[in-house]
Structure 1
Amino acid sequence: MATATPLGLPERSKPRARGRLQLILILLVVLGPMVLATCMYKLKFWVPEGRSYHGAMIGNGQSRADIGIAGEDQRWQLLVSAPAACAEDCQRLVYLVRQIQVGLGRDASRASHALAAAQPLASDYQALLTREYPQLQRYSLDAQRYLQQVGEAGPQLWIVDPHGNLVLRYDAKVNGKHVLDDLRHLLKLSNIG
């Protein structure tokens, strides 16, 4: 028979109350961080201001085809886009992407480099590319669609994932070391390509 406590409650309720308290604490420990993270994302508070990449992040799911570039590759890609003639800045970027791929060392086979041009290349530059850049892939570029989506008339350098999604974008004055660092970081984190 249960004995009564001074408050008139049976003795069994104290362990039951302690068990409920433990259950609530376990739920708070498990669900609390998820609720906090969701609130941080939705309400945009305590979001870190710093970033670990140098280019402009493309986070809207755009692909090469969305900006008017025909072609695909099953590896990570350093892509130079030239909506106008491939002049000095464009040629510098083409040289830079090859050097970045070489700079990847043992991971060089996981990446490729490409040029997407809206206009035909000059014959002397075309011959130079054929002779000195044999692995450079060449794609056509729909300049009107590109300018409509990107809004930049100058050449750009893009990092494209193996699924064809645009990841990062750089302007023509980019430092090659920054692109190499970003690509190495992506390759380290990626299981694809």
Structure 2
Amino acid sequence: MGSVMNPPSMSEAKPVPSRRRGRIQLLLIVLGVVGPMLLATGMYKLQFWVPEGRSYHGELIGNGQTRADLGVQADEQRWQILVTAPKDCAVDCQQLVYLARQIQISLGREAGRASHALAAAQPLSADYAAKLDREYPQLQRYPLDAGVFARTTGDKAVPQLWIVDPHGNLVLRYEPNVKGKDLLNDLRHLLKLSNIG
């Protein structure tokens, strides 16, 4: 009769994980945590794989500029639709002032979270000032320092419309030909995302 073989013990049946396998697992875990952060940093710094689409219609101001950087001194604690007129407030400017008021009204229940304002570098004509007093009772009016405005905006002499957050930071800028629906959608989106103001 041949010799009987002993069955393998439990410790021999399961191989012990090697150090190399443990190191590979640790490396994969670290890459899973640190990798996305490195990728996001690279995308931001080198501007690759940045999506072209955007959900807003104005020009995003993300450089920390405030209302004071435009040459406007105001202490508004709500979101503000601000029209700036570096020259006289002519037809384009007056259209933006009208639009700012209509946008605030269109906010409905949220209208109390926003205000509309005009900052003009030159005195308004007597007729237009009287019209504003009569038809725009909630419009806030400020003087605009044209020199500060020119340094900040690159000497743009056209009237512009700005969305300003409750801390006075510039958020979005619009040209005179902005569509009211686009502006309203942008402001509604900001109010929805914001807990301030």
TM-score, normalised relative to structure 1 = 0.89
Q: 2:99 aligns to what?
A: 96
The answer as to 2:189 corresponding to 1:181 is no
Match of 1:76 among 61, 66, 79: 79
Q: 1:164 aligns to what?
A: 168
Amino acid at match of 2:27: I
For residues 137-167 of structure 1, what are the alpha-carbon distances to aligned partners after superposition, in whole Å with 9 as ceiling and x for unaligned?
1111011221222121011100001111111
Q: 1:8 aligns to what?
A: none
TM-score, normalised relative to structure 2 = 0.87
Q: Shift of the alpha carbon at 1:181?
A: 0.8
1: distance between equivalents of 2:119 and 2:158? 12
Partner SS, residue 62 of structure 1: coil
Who wins on radius of gyration, i.e. which is larger?
2
2: distance between equivalents of 1:173 and 1:45? 31
Q: 1:26 aligns to what?
A: 29
Match of 1:115 among 109, 115, 118: 118
Point out 4+ residue stretches in structure 1 off by more than 6 angstroms. Answer: none
Match of 1:49 among 49, 52, 69: 52
* Unaligned stretches of 5+ residues in structure 2: 1-11
Q: 1:38 aligns to what?
A: 41
Q: 1:147 aligns to what?
A: 150
Q: Shift of the alpha carbon at 1:77?
A: 0.4
Q: Shift of the alpha carbon at 1:179?
A: 0.7
The answer as to 2:106 corresponding to 1:65 is no
For residues 86-116 of structure 1, what are the alpha-carbon distances to aligned partners after superposition, in whole Å with 9 as ceiling and x for unaligned?
1111111111001001111111111110000
For residues 20-77 of structure 1, what are the alpha-carbon distances to aligned partners after superposition, in whole Å with 9 as ceiling and x for unaligned?
3332222222221111111111222111112111111112111111121111201110
Amino acid at match of 1:131: R
- Superposition RMSD in Å: 1.7
1: distance between equivalents of 2:20 and 2:68? 61
Q: Give identity over the alignment, percent.
A: 69
2: distance between equivalents of 1:42 and 1:146? 29
* Unaligned stretches of 5+ residues in structure 1: 6-10
1: distance between equivalents of 2:151 and 2:36? 42
Task: Figure out how many residues of one structure are paired with residues of the other and give that number.
Answer: 184
Higher mean alpha-carbon deviation, 27-36 vs 90-99, is at 27-36
The answer as to 2:186 corresponding to 1:191 is no
Partner SS, residue 70 of structure 1: coil
